[in-house]
Amino acid sequence: MIRDFQISQNPLTLENGDVQNGRCTTRRAVFTDCEARLVYSYGGRDYDTEVEVMFVDFHTGDYETGLVIVSSAKAPRVLRCAKEVVAF
């Protein structure tokens, strides 16, 4: 929840990022865990990080994601892989 709050304060969706090896699993029909490797460039620096997210969702099917970072004067960090329902 802290990460979501930080993103909401100054979000930046990266169009040129790459989500690799993304996988989601659903437990007890509503608890979804996703993990992926995120590779992107921002501010002249390259980033490569592994992320894991958990959320409650009543959706069935695939997910599509986008890279969302905190845009600030400090070193940007990927804080989450924002979920959108489509294909993961």
For the chain, where are the alpha helices, taking DSSP H only? 2-9
Q: What is the mean pLDDT of each run of 10 residues along the chain (88 residues)?
A: 73 87 87 90 88 83 80 53 39
Give the model's pLDDT for residue 79.
Answer: 44
Contact criterion met (CB below 8 Å) for 8 and 71:
no
What is the reported pLDDT for 1? 66
pLDDT recorded at residue 48:
92
Residue 77 is which amino acid?
R
Per-residue tokens: 7: 């993103």
What is the distance between the alpha carbons of residues 40 and 47, in angstroms, rounded to a whole number?
5
Q: What is the structure's pLDDT at 37? A: 92
The pTM of this model reads: 0.68
In Å, how far are 6, 21, 56, 87 from 9, measured between CA atoms? 5, 28, 23, 27
pLDDT at 77: 53
